Amino acid sequence: MSDATLHATTRDPDDFAVQIADQVESFLVAVTEVAKGDEPGSAVPFLLLEVSQLLLAGGRLGAHEDIVPDERYEPDTGPDADVDELRENLARLLDPVDVYSEVFDPYEPRTAPVPARLSDDIADVITDLRHGMAHYRAGRVTEALWWWQFSYFSNWGPTASAALRALQSVLIHVRLNQPLEELDGLDTDQSMGDETLEFEAGKVMAQEIAGPLGIRRGQ
């Protein structure tokens, strides 16, 4: 399936696969444009919008019954496209809010937060989506849907969800004038123990909720 026929009028626009592919393609195109850096001041709002819309497709895939591929083994799509340039461009655009603190599993007791990068997260999501799009463009629609659904559960869904919370938090702090100075300098390359990260996260939560709830910071 070539670029020219990706959105061919002969394909039913109400078809589930077409709708998912359209949302995936829209995200890929939009994020690639954001990463060019032509409008750096709008990068965070644009990414928030695009990740939110992508997660709607992810929710539909997650709620759908298990998709079974036509073939037992996944056909070779060739090497995945390099995303290093996109990742680096996003890192420059999002600096200094690129690094954030994330808890991977909210249902795992006493899970400590770990540092993550928005640029890494978005690049990883792009890689997963492009892999499925390679199947879709080749006409292997069921294989594409299977891959997007599987990788939604195994990687890009949780990753995009974490990125969405971080992007939303950035806008919240900007719009409400609530800087998070405690996290300045936090880096994924640093060797920080769980206790240190937990303490930093605790200070952030204190700044977030202590004032509105009338709790004194010293308590």
pTM of the model: 0.76
Task: State both tokens at 171.
Answer: 């806008």
Q: Looking at residue 10, what is its pLDDT?
A: 47
Q: Could you give the CA distance from residue 52 to residue 199 in angstroms, rounded to a whole number?
A: 30
- DSSP annotation of 1 reads -
Ranking 21-35, 76-90, 147-161 by mean pLDDT, the lowest is 76-90
Q: Could you give the CA distance from residue 89 to residue 144 in angstroms, rounded to a whole number?
A: 28
Q: Could you give the CA distance from residue 126 to residue 124 in angstroms, rounded to a whole number?
A: 5
Task: State both tokens at 61.
Answer: 């895939």
Summarised one tens digit per residue, pLDDT across range 147-162 is 999 999 999 999 999 9
45, pLDDT greater than 90: yes
Q: Looking at residue 67, what is its pLDDT?
A: 93
105, pLDDT greater than 70: yes
